[in-house]
């Protein structure tokens, strides 16, 4: 049995980009990202691609990667293809920028019929820009599908998906009938590297692109439920006392004495 | 007065500390606070909630089921919200809370602010305004809601100081029965496998010694563990150390790991990325040992030592031992 998997990925600003990559407008208090700032596929979404590829290896799967946005960086967004995914669909429109989670899920729910048959949707547990962890859950409500969150392992057997869900002190095994939505976490393991052959083959593939009009979405309906009033840089008033000494052994000793002196232990 | 509904949680028959924080958060913007619990066998939790500031307690019970999966919980809250219309709903950022919030928001057609650290009321609209870290904690966003409520805000643990309980508080306790069918559930629980924490539970540990990428391998965690035991605490780790397989993910501290607030947090070889700091922002005193003097951890720590942990740690541990013996 070969299953159809759809993986949703988001192009995000590299979380390790220097702080100088971000600009906050002093009047509007809104955040903008300077040109030349590196973008990546959200880390948890790369884990989602890895999870799909493992199922492709074990039970056989056709993997379609879908991304919603605008201003895609082709080399970045094609990475899942170079890792081994089969198809790439971009839902691309100028109206698909700065959306809140609810609106994003609404657009994805309308795109599902265009994407084609899907037995299993896999998403990252959250995106590193807003850490909302909302889209898969809202999508599950809109599509009437079960949503199994924070998986570190996914198994498919006989039209059923079973995951090991990460718990604070262990894990639980839960199941649902397909079609279903699963979100994955870093506990699943490191995503594989793209192979040279994968990169060559990804280069030859062209993504299918759909605009709001193609998806029959009236952009006037995309009003957000959340409004960003302002963005600021957290002010840290902490002052770190740095210990000095002739050598590391002395520094270690001073550290203990200092903590004892301050009655920390 | 703005009515606030808290989706309360209990731990082993007690009002949990996060619910007490939610009561303090609600108290900071309103006097009209109600709280809902699942199950009707928890009068003492209800009474406790009143002592901590709730004026109304709803105990939600279904005739059919006594298992509180996310599906059942969402159905229970949806039923309650068919009867009452608060302007704000608060819940805690727990694993289950994070799953319930977005689904409930979708069903009610309302907005939701995830992972918030403080709330206020906009005096003009009387709608809530939430403050929350974004970009892994590198920025702080203030978000408001486009429409009237009930708008939902998920609060991060450790954001509010718990109020003192007051035995003179009075409140109503109301039982509400709702209906769910077995077929309403589409996720089936097979089994739960708990790992043995072996020692002090991370969330309750007064002292945590956490190691990161700078340790270079799994072996050094033994030394960290020795130090933790000496100080009556537990060992922890950054996500990088867990992802490398040096230590189990149950020890991961950070935005998507555990949220800890020990009196003393000692980091060894942790660079202090904002995603890690999001998990220990409640720590009272942070000590950083790192060989990179420019590491971000030194911006967050109270006491810092630049150098090789392999040399610093043994003399630190032996001095601690000596001091504890005298």
Phi-psi region of A85 (alpha: psi -120 to 50; beta: other; left: phi over 0): beta
8-state DSSP, A6: E
- A27-33 — which CB contacts under 8 Å span 24+ positions? A29/A229, A29/A230, A29/A231, A29/A232, A30/A228, A30/A230, A30/A231, A31/A231, A31/B139
User: From the candidates B316, B317, B318, B326, which should be mutated to test the interface with A, based on the most A CB atoms within 10 A?
Assistant: B316
Per-residue pLDDT tens for A73-82? 999 999 999 9
Whether residue A241 and residue B304 make contact (CB cut-off 8 A), yes or no, is: yes
To the nearest whole angstrom, how far is the Cα of B61 from the nearest Cα of chain A? Answer: 23
Angle CA A139–A143–A149, to nearest 5: 45
Compute and round to an integer the Cα radius of gyration of chain A: 22
Cα four-point dihedral sign B223, B227, B232, B237: negative
Residue B65 has pLDDT above 80, yes or no: no
Main-chain phi, psi angles of B191, to 5 degrees? -160, 160
Q: Return the bridge partners of B267, or none.
A: B210, B288
Band of residue A162 on the pLDDT scale cut at 50, 70, 90: very high
Give the residue-averaged pLDDT of B18-42.
Answer: 93
Contact B34, B25 (CB under 8 A): no
Write b or e for each residue in B220-252: b if 16 or more Cβ atoms lie within 10 A of its Cβ, otherwise e.
Answer: bbebbbbbbeebebbbbbbbbbbbbebbebbbb
Lowest mean pLDDT among B15-19, B171-175, B195-199, B312-316: B195-199
Q: What is the pLDDT of residue B198?
A: 64
Q: What is the pLDDT of residue A52?
A: 98
CA distances to A52, A97, A209, B234, B236 from A68, in Å: 19, 9, 10, 43, 37
The structure tokens 């892994």 sit at: B136
In angstroms, the CA A77 to CA A83 distance is 11
Give the residue-averaged pLDDT of B131-143.
Answer: 94
Give the residue-averaged pLDDT of B254-261.
Answer: 94
Per-residue pLDDT tens for A215-253? 999 999 899 999 999 999 988 777 899 999 889 999 999
In angstroms, the CA B305 to CA A242 distance is 6
Nearest residue to B102 via CA among A109, A126, A141, A138: A138
Task: List the single residue in A175, A190, A252 with the smallest CB-CB distance to B319.
Answer: A252
Task: List the single residue in A22, A149, A243 with the smallest CB-CB distance to B303.
Answer: A243
Contact A162, A171 (CB under 8 A): no
Compute and round to an integer the Cα radius of gyration of chain B: 22
Q: What is the pLDDT of residue A53?
A: 98
Tokens standing for B281?
A: 């922002």
Contact B266, B227 (CB under 8 A): yes
Band of residue B41 on the pLDDT scale cut at 50, 70, 90: confident
The structure tokens 């406790």 sit at: B48
Contact B259, B158 (CB under 8 A): yes
In angstroms, the CA B311 to CA B185 distance is 56
Angle CA B149–B150–B154, to nearest 5: 115
Decide if B120 touches A, using CB distance below 8 A.
no
Whether residue B138 and residue A256 make contact (CB cut-off 8 A), yes or no, is: no
3-state secondary structure of B246: coil
- The percentage of chain A sitting over the pLDDT mark of 90, rounded to a whole number, equals 89
8-state DSSP, B258: B
Upper half-sphere CA count for residue A121 (Cβ side, 13 Å): 29
In angstroms, the CA A117 to CA A5 distance is 9
Contacts of A250 in chain B (CB under 8 A): 315
Contact B231, B320 (CB under 8 A): yes
To the nearest whole angstrom, how far is the Cα of A204 from the nearest Cα of chain B? Answer: 33
Decide if B156 touches A, using CB distance below 8 A.
no
Nearest residue to B35 via CA among B45, B1, B2: B45
Task: List the single residue in B144, B239, B306 with the smallest CB-CB distance to A242.
Answer: B306
Band of residue B272 on the pLDDT scale cut at 50, 70, 90: very high
Residue in chain A closest to B154 (alpha carbons) equals A132
In angstroms, the CA B19 to CA B2 distance is 19
Task: List the single residue in B146, B194, B255 with the smallest CB-CB distance to A169.
Answer: B194
Contacts of B144 in chain A (CB under 8 A): 226-227, 229
To the nearest whole angstrom, how far is the Cα of A43 from the nearest Cα of chain B? Answer: 12
Band of residue B185 on the pLDDT scale cut at 50, 70, 90: confident
Label residue A246 exposed, middle or buried (CB < 10 Å: 0-12, 13-18, 19+): exposed
Decide if B326 touches A, using CB distance below 8 A.
no
Residue in chain A closest to B140 (alpha carbons) equals A232
Cα four-point dihedral sign A99, B258, B35, B66: positive
Contact A162, A146 (CB under 8 A): no
CB pairs below 8 Å between A and B: how many?
Answer: 251
In angstroms, the CA B154 to CA A48 distance is 25
Whether residue B139 and residue A232 make contact (CB cut-off 8 A), yes or no, is: yes
Tokens standing for B144?
A: 């408001």
- The percentage of chain A sitting over the pLDDT mark of 70, rounded to a whole number, equals 100
| Average pLDDT of every residue of chain B | 93
Whether residue A249 and residue B312 make contact (CB cut-off 8 A), yes or no, is: yes
Contact B280, B250 (CB under 8 A): no
Let me know how long chain A is: 265
Task: Domain A3-221: state its class.
Answer: alpha beta
Can you list the domains of chain B with their CATH numbers?
A: 3-184 (3.40.50.620), 202-325 (3.40.50.1220)
Label residue B79 exposed, middle or buried (CB < 10 Å: 0-12, 13-18, 19+): middle
In angstroms, the CA A155 to CA A164 distance is 9
Residue B265: alpha-carbon gap to chain centroid: 17
Consecutive H or E run containing B289 = strand B285-290
Q: Helix B95-108 vs helix B70-81: angle between axes, to the nearest 10 degrees? A: 40
Write the ipTM.
0.93
DSSP letters of B99-134?
A: HHHHHHHHHHT--EEEEESEEEE-TTT--EEEEEEE
Q: What is the pLDDT of residue A238?
A: 79
């Amino acid at each position: 049995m070969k299953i159809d998997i759809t993986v949703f990925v988001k192009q995000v600003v590299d979380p390790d980009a220097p702080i100088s990559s971000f600009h906050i407008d002093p009047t509007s208090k809104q955040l903008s990202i300077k040109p030349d700032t590196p973008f990546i596929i959200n880390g948890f979404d790369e884990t989602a691609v890895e999870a799909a590829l493992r199922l492709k290896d074990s039970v056989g799967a056709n993997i379609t990667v879908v991304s919603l946005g605008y201003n895609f960086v082709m080399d970045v967004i094609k990475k899942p293809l170079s890792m081994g995914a089969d198809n790439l669909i971009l839902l691309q429109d100028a109206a698909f920028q700065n959306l809140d989670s609810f609106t994003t899920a609404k657009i994805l729910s309308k795109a599902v019929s265009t994407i084609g048959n899907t037995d299993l949707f896999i998403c990252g547990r959250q995106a590193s820009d807003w850490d909302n962890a909302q889209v898969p859950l809202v999508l599950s409500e809109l599509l009437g599908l079960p949503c199994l969150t924070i998986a570190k392992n996914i198994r498919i057997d006989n039209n059923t998906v079973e995951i090991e869900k990460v718990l604070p002190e262990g894990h639980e095994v839960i199941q649902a009938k397909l079609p279903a939505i699963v979100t994955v976490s870093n506990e699943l393991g490191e995503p594989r590297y793209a192979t040279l052959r994968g990169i060559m083959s990804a280069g030859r593939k062209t993504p299918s692109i759909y605009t709001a009009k193609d998806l029959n979405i009236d952009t006037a309906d995309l009003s957000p439920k959340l409004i960003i009033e302002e963005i600021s840089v957290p002010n840290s008033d902490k002052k770190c006392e740095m210990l000095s000494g002739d050598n590391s052994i002395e520094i270690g000793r001073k550290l203990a004495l200092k903590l004892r002196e301050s009655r920390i232990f | 007065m703005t009515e606030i509904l808290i989706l309360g949680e209990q731990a082993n028959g007690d009002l949990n500390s996060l619910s007490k924080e939610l009561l303090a958060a609600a108290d900071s913007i309103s006097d009209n606070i109600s709280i809902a619990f699942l199950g009707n066998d928890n009068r003492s939790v209800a009474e406790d909630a009143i002592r901590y500031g709730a004026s109304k307690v709803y105990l939600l019970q279904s005739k059919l089921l006594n298992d509180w999966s996310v599906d059942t919980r969402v159905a229970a809250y949806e039923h309650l919200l068919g009867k009452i219309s608060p302007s704000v709903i608060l819940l805690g950022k727990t694993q289950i809370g994070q799953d319930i919030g977005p689904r409930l928001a979708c069903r009610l057609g309302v907005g939701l602010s995830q992972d918030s650290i403080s709330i206020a009321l906009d005096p003009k609209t009387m709608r809530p305004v939430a403050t929350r870290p974004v970009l892994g904690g590198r920025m702080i966003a203030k978000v408001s809601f486009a429409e009237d409520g009930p708008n939902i805000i998920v609060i991060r643990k450790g954001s509010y100081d718990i109020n003192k309980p007051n035995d003179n508080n009075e409140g109503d306790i109301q039982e509400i029965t709702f209906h769910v069918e077995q077929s309403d559930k589409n996720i089936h629980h097979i089994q739960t496998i708990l790992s043995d924490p072996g020692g002090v539970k991370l969330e309750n540990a007064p002292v945590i010694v956490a190691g990161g990428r700078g340790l270079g391998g799994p072996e050094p965690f033994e030394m960290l563990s020795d130090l933790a035991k000496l100080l009556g605490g537990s060992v922890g780790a950054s996500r990088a150390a867990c992802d490398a397989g040096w230590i189990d993910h149950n020890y991961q501290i950070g935005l998507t790991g555990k949220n800890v607030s020990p009196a003393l947090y000692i980091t060894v070889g942790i660079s202090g990325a904002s995603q890690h700091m999001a998990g220990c922002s409640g720590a009272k005193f942070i000590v950083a040992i790192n060989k990179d003097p420019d590491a971000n951890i030194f911006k967050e720590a109270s006491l810092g030592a630049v150098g090789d942990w392999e040399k610093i740690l043994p003399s630190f541990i032996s001095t601690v031992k000596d001091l504890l013996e005298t």
